[in-house]
Amino acid sequence: MKKLSLALALISLVFCVACGTSGIGGLIGTGHFSNSSLTGNYVYQITGWDFSSGSPVPYQEAGVFAANGQGVITSGTDDFTEESSGGVGTSTDTGTYSINSDGTGTLTLNFSSGSIDLDLTLVSSSKLYLIDADNLNSTGVAEQQTSTTLPTAATAFVFKQHSVSAIQDFSTVGQLTLATNGTVAGSDDVNRSGAINGGNGTTNPLALTSASSFAAADSTGRGTATLADSTGAIDFIYYIVNSNNIRFLVSDAGVVGAGRAEAQTGQPFTTDPLSGSSYAFGSRADDNVAGPGAVNTVGSLTASSGAISGGLLDSSVDGTNSYADIPINSGGTYTTVASNGRTVVGFTTGIPSTVQQVFWMVNPSRAFFLTTSDSSDVTKIEDGTADQQQGTFTNSSLNGQYGFTMDGYDNNAGAFIDRVGWIQWNGSGSLTWNEALNSSGTISSPGALSGTYTVGTNGRATASVTNLSYNSNDIVFYLVSGSNAYILENDPGVEINGVMNQQSQ
């Protein structure tokens, strides 16, 4: 097993010429970040591909590091697993980091067995995006840790996880109530290689069994846990970010998986949280296509009083097909939202396809979802996140400097792609794009790229970026608000998606 090199690329908005060390592409954008912006403990979670054995092997990495605000990582714990391994390898670490005024920077973690290098971009002092800066491919996120203990009272969480292995791919979304003694009650929906809830469909979720439990966390907020239903069990290491946010790393041998749990608010749901709202969403799926095939989808849907009244989606499928600006037809439905926040959603699209999904509401404006059937791709294992859209959108909705991260596979180039950087939007249809790029282990930065964009009133935005776009208007954004969006590079042969958030400091 090779210890990975990570590049934490800290991203900012609005381009400017400034003094200081070189940022991505030798450019420094605007901002007031410094080494002191990274202070305290941070939980990180990274997904990528290891090329050290020849053929690419998927891996996951997660951990906690302590930054002293002066460029030094004083301590840390790192957990690493890949499909060919016998389980999780755990290491302690120290390191160094350097942050530019626009939030871009570098970070190195040193282990007894080697080191990893990271390029970074801060969204804020509490969140940063990551990519690998060495000869591996990975992207991730780190979040400032403000708690290291589990809740002191019984607390409901909505969770999701996605795992791959040589035997089976599966996704799980559900709700759990965690008691103070570590016992767990709740239910979930699971897609195991196309079998939904053990072959029982979506009429009822599966109950979590008594084998489910959380062991107490150590002083760094790291602990072990199990979630089990009638289809099987998932063992994982968890990392507490705060009282509302827990990250997962699956620890079963030969399985590569990760997930998260967020504290649920609004329960019991006695009114319809979906009615009268539009939700932007992003999802990713594996299917049975050989190689790195994946399905990436972004879009929005509108719900009202049990009906899905419309929406749009963009999707790239296995590096062969891309679908742009596809309507979600009126006439879809969703079931009455249960008191625990579960609802079954069904709709048709202009691909054409008939889709069924299970939504678990984190709160009235956010949900995790699992796709349980899609007539256009019956083998896919898909999960995602949906967020309520805020307001009516115009070009002026995007104004300032935004950090972003994207990853996936470009079949045209035959390369795994990771991106991190900043996009500056001028509020009137022009943009500047600055990124660090990892293309199957080759690191580069093209410098400032110019582009144009258009934002629709429904929150769907398209952009063309010189020397990055294959086609006009191929970078697609579905805005949750003027501050964040789901991203898809929608070109034939490309399977790349990501997220974007406005910087704050």
Mean pLDDT, residues 198-205 taken together: 94
Side chain identity at 447, as an amino acid letter?
A: G
For residue 92, the number of C-alpha atoms closer than 13 Å in the C-beta half-sphere is 3
Q: Which of 227, 234, 239 is CA-nearest to residue 252?
A: 234
Tell me if residue 290 falls in helix, strand or coil.
coil
- Please enumerate in sequence order all residues whose Cβ is within 8 A of that of 420, keeping only pairs 6 or more positions apart, or say none: 7, 9, 11, 24, 119, 120, 121, 129, 130, 131, 139, 403, 404, 405, 406, 435, 436
What is the rounded CA–CA span in Å between residue 242 and residue 375?
39
| CA distance to 283, 369, 376, 466, per residue, from 463 (Å) | 20, 27, 27, 10
Task: Tell me 471's DSSP state.
Answer: S
What tokens does 91 get?
A: 């290491």
What tokens does 64 get?
A: 């906690």
Residue 136 has pLDDT above 90, yes or no: no
pTM summary value: 0.94
Q: What is the pLDDT of residue 290?
A: 64
Residue pLDDT, tens place only, 210-266: 999 999 999 999 999 999 999 999 999 999 999 999 999 999 999 999 999 999 999
Residue 17 has pLDDT above 50, yes or no: no
Which helix (H) or strand (E) segment is 283 a member of? strand 277-286
CATH topology of domain 155-263: Porin (2.40.160)
What is the rounded CA–CA span in Å between residue 41 and residue 135?
27
Q: What is the pLDDT of residue 360?
A: 98
Mean pLDDT, residues 12-19 taken together: 31
User: May I ask the CATH class of domain 277-388?
Assistant: mainly beta
Residue pLDDT, tens place only, 398-424: 999 999 999 999 988 999 999 999 999
Mean pLDDT, residues 76-99 taken together: 92
Residue pLDDT, tens place only, 71-87: 999 999 999 999 877 78
Side chain identity at 54, as an amino acid letter?
A: G
What tokens does 196 get?
A: 């939904």
Mean pLDDT, residues 98-123 taken together: 90
Confidence of residue 319 (pLDDT cuts 50, 70, 90): confident
What is the rounded CA–CA span in Å between residue 302 and residue 299?
11
Confidence of residue 22 (pLDDT cuts 50, 70, 90): low
Confidence of residue 141 (pLDDT cuts 50, 70, 90): very high
Indicate the CATH number of 24-144 among 2.40.160.20, 3.30.565.10, 3.40.50.2300, 2.70.98.40.
Answer: 2.40.160.20
Q: What is the pLDDT of residue 337?
A: 95
What is the rounded CA–CA span in Å between residue 109 and residue 96?
7
Sequence ranges of the chain with CATH classification 2.40.128: 277-388, 395-502
Backbone phi, then psi, for 199, in 5-degree steps?
90, 5
Mean pLDDT, residues 440-465 taken together: 94
Q: What is the pLDDT of residue 86?
A: 78
Burial of 100 from C-beta contacts in 10 A (0-12 / 13-18 / 19+):
buried
Side chain identity at 347, as an amino acid letter?
A: F
Q: Which of 475, 161, 451, 455 is CA-nearest to residue 298?
A: 475
> CA angle 301-305-310, nearest 5°?
25
Q: What is the pLDDT of residue 289?
A: 74
Q: Which residue has the tokens 């042969």?
A: 493
Q: What is the pLDDT of residue 115?
A: 87
Which helix (H) or strand (E) segment is 431 a member of? strand 430-439
Residue 112 has pLDDT above 90, yes or no: no
Indicate the CATH number of 395-502 among 2.40.160, 2.40.128, 1.10.1660, 3.30.1240.
Answer: 2.40.128
Q: Which of 452, 460, 454 is CA-nearest to residue 326?
A: 460
Q: Are 432 and 448 in contact (CB under 8 A)?
A: yes
Residue 443 has pLDDT above 60, yes or no: yes
What is the rounded CA–CA span in Å between residue 484 and residue 496?
18
Q: Please provide the DSSP assignment of 93-146 as one string.
A: -EEEEEE-TTSEEEEEEEETTEEEEEEEEEEETTEEEEEE-SSSEEEEEEEE--
Mean pLDDT, residues 202-207 taken together: 96
Percent above pLDDT 90 for the chain? 78
What tokens does 87 get?
A: 């389980």
Q: What is the pLDDT of residue 291?
A: 65
Residue 322 has pLDDT above 50, yes or no: yes
Residue 7 has pLDDT above 80, yes or no: no
Residue 120 has pLDDT above 80, yes or no: yes
Lowest mean pLDDT among 5-19, 165-179, 250-264: 5-19
Task: Tell me 197's DSSP state.
Answer: G
Q: What is the pLDDT of residue 318?
A: 85
Residue 292 has pLDDT above 90, yes or no: no
Confidence of residue 14 (pLDDT cuts 50, 70, 90): very low
What is the rounded CA–CA span in Å between residue 59 and residue 250?
11
Question: Mapped to the 3 state alphabet, what secondary structure does 164-179 carry?
Answer: EECCCCEEEEEEEEEC
Mean pLDDT, residues 464-482 taken together: 96
Percent above pLDDT 70 for the chain? 95
Q: Which of 238, 234, 235, 209 is CA-nearest to residue 223?
A: 238
Q: Are 204 and 380 in contact (CB under 8 A)?
A: no
Sequence ranges of the chain with CATH classification 2.40.160.20: 24-144, 155-263
| CA distance to 220, 339, 386, 409, per residue, from 414 (Å) | 40, 47, 31, 8
Residues in the chain: 505
